[in-house]
């Protein structure tokens, strides 16, 4: 991975990078670039709001409960509205779906409205009140070709391997967009001086082995045996003779970002409170699994690849374990041993 400035000291913005990528597809209409500009604009607006969270009246609960039965934070509502607004202006998007909306929004039926965007506008939003990191996750799918003019909200129920691009924005000590459209995973840091996402982490590759596991260990007694034995094995030094330590922020985007750059493993297994897992498949697990795989890691639920799970509903939950090559080899060893 290169984190050095470009050789001639010029910068490469996300838009430039994307333009270079789309030149690989002659005849590209520019609609996809325009779609992506909706994401970059909306997330810059969210970043600006997050930066000033302690100074404006955006902390705390909005007073409503979302479809997951969770109290919506004011910033959840704000972020959702911003993304819906700017993505809603993109002619190429037929369907939008969000963690904060019970049903997907079918915006257009026209043939040129060929994309579907699903997102979690502000993941880990309870972190806002304590000035800790939060994120946005998004997944981009193509509408199926074979449905003619019978488009409906179920068009988006596609397994994650059909994603054509995915990413997240981490609102941390700096704001960073991490994105892949299938040709490497690239990180762009928001330069507040010029208001642009600038390429800072080209071609992110996960280290073969890290030194941290990231899990809400308070639930370990209720994990299925394989996950429990796995975490205990990491602690005991059974994965490459390294005794792992733990890091857990409680905002998936931040925990996964550390894992992508420094290696290791992130997991949210089934628990008594969340027997199917806590993370949402379509807009949390899938985009992360897509990025992790494109960075050389793997992402699973039990013995199944996350990207192969066929969703039955937009807000479906899943368990997830994702990590670098050594950590996932050790997980598969635990699975195989039935431990």
Tell me which residue of 176, 138, 162 sits closest to 14, measured CA to CA. Answer: 176
Give which of Mg ion, ligand AHM, none residue 119 binds (C-beta under 5 to 8 Å, depending on kind): none
Q: Stretches 120-128, 161-169, 173-181, 298-306: which one binds ligand AHM (CB under 6 A)?
A: 120-128
Count of residues of this chain found to bind ligand AHM when the rule CB under 6 A is applied: 11
Among 178, 252, 281, 334, binds ligand AHM (CB under 6 A): 252
- The answer for residues whose C-beta is within 8 angstroms of residue 8's C-beta and 6 or more apart is none
One-character DSSP codes across 109-173: -STT--EEEEEEEEETGGGGGGT--EEEEEEEEEPPGGGTT---GGGG---GGG-SEEEEEEESS
Binding mask 53-92 for ligand AHM (x = CB under 6 A): -----------------x----------------------
Q: Residue 13 or 101: which CB sits closer to Mg ion?
A: 101
Q: Stretches 65-73, 121-129, 290-298, 318-326: which one binds Mg ion (CB under 5 A)?
A: 121-129
Contact in structure between 139 and 286 (CB atoms under 8 Å): yes
Among 84, 117, 181, 251, binds ligand AHM (CB under 6 A): 251
Q: Stretches 101-109, 115-123, 181-189, 315-323: which one binds Mg ion (CB under 5 A)?
A: 115-123
Among 60, 250, 275, 336, binds ligand AHM (CB under 6 A): 250
Find the shortest distance in angstroms from Cβ 199 to Mg ion.
27
CB neighbour burial string for 203-238, b if at least 16 within 10 angstroms, e if fewer: ebbbbebbebbbbeeebeeebeebbbbbbebbeeeb
- The answer for residues whose C-beta is within 8 angstroms of residue 191's C-beta and 6 or more apart is 11, 197, 198
Find the shortest distance in angstroms from Cβ 126 to Mg ion.
10
Q: Residue 94 or 297: which CB sits closer to ligand AHM?
A: 297
Task: Tell me: does residue 154 bind ligand AHM (CB under 6 A).
Answer: no
Q: Stretches 12-20, 89-97, 244-252, 308-316: which one binds ligand AHM (CB under 6 A)?
A: 244-252
The Cα 173–Cα 199 span in angstroms is 17
Give which of Mg ion, ligand AHM, none residue 179 binds (C-beta under 5 to 8 Å, depending on kind): none
Tell me which residue of 285, 286, 251 sits closest to 269, measured CA to CA. Answer: 285
Q: Residue 100 or 155: which CB sits closer to ligand AHM?
A: 100
Tell me which residue of 4, 14, 53, 54 sits closest to 195, measured CA to CA. Answer: 14
Task: Tell me: does residue 124 bind ligand AHM (CB under 6 A).
Answer: yes
The Cα 245–Cα 36 span in angstroms is 37
Task: Tell me: does residue 100 bind Mg ion (CB under 5 A).
Answer: no
Six-digit token pair at 51? Answer: 């930066």
The Cα 294–Cα 10 span in angstroms is 27
Find the shortest distance in angstroms from Cβ 71 to ligand AHM.
9
Find the shortest distance in angstroms from Cβ 337 to ligand AHM.
27
Contact positions toward Mg ion, by CB under 5 A? 120, 123
């Amino acid at each position: 991975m290169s984190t050095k400035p470009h050789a001639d000291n010029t910068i490469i913005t996300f838009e430039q990078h994307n333009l270079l990528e789309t030149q690989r597809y002659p005849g590209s209409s520019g609609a996809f670039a325009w779609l992506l500009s909706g994401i970059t604009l909306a997330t810059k607006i969210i970043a600006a709001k997050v930066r000033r969270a302690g100074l404006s009246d955006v902390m705390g609960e909005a007073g409503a409960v979302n479809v997951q039965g969770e109290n919506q934070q004011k910033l959840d509502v704000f972020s959702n509205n911003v993304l819906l607004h700017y993505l809603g202006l993109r002619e190429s998007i037929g369907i939008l779906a969000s963690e904060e909306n019970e049903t997907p929004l079918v915006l257009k039926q026209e043939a040129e409205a060929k994309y579907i965007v699903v997102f979690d506008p502000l993941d880990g939003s309870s972190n806002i009140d304590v000035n800790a990191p939060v994120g946005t996750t998004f997944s981009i799918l193509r509408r199926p070709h074979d449905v003619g003019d019978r488009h409906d909200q179920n068009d988006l129920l596609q397994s994650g391997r059909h994603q054509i691009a995915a990413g997240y924005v981490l609102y941390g000590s700096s704001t960073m967009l991490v994105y892949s459209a299938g040709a490497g995973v690239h990180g762009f840091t928001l330069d507040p001086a010029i208001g642009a996402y600038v390429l800072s982490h080209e071609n992110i590759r996960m280290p073969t082995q890290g030194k941290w596991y990231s899990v809400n260990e308070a639930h370990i007694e209720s994990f299925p045996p394989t996950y429990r034995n796995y975490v205990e094995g990491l602690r005991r030094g059974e994965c490459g003779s390294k005794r792992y330590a733990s890091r857990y922020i409680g905002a998936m985007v931040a925990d996964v970002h550390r894992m992508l750059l420094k290696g290791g493993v992130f997991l949210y297994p089934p628990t008594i409170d969340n027997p199917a897992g806590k993370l949402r498949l379509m807009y949390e697990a899938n985009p992360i699994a897509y990025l992790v795989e494109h960075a050389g890691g793997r992402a699973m639920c039990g013995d199944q690849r996350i990207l192969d799970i066929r969703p039955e509903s937009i807000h479906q939950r899943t368990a997830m374990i994702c990590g670098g090559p050594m950590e996932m080899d050790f997980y598969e060893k635990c699975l195989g041993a039935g431990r």
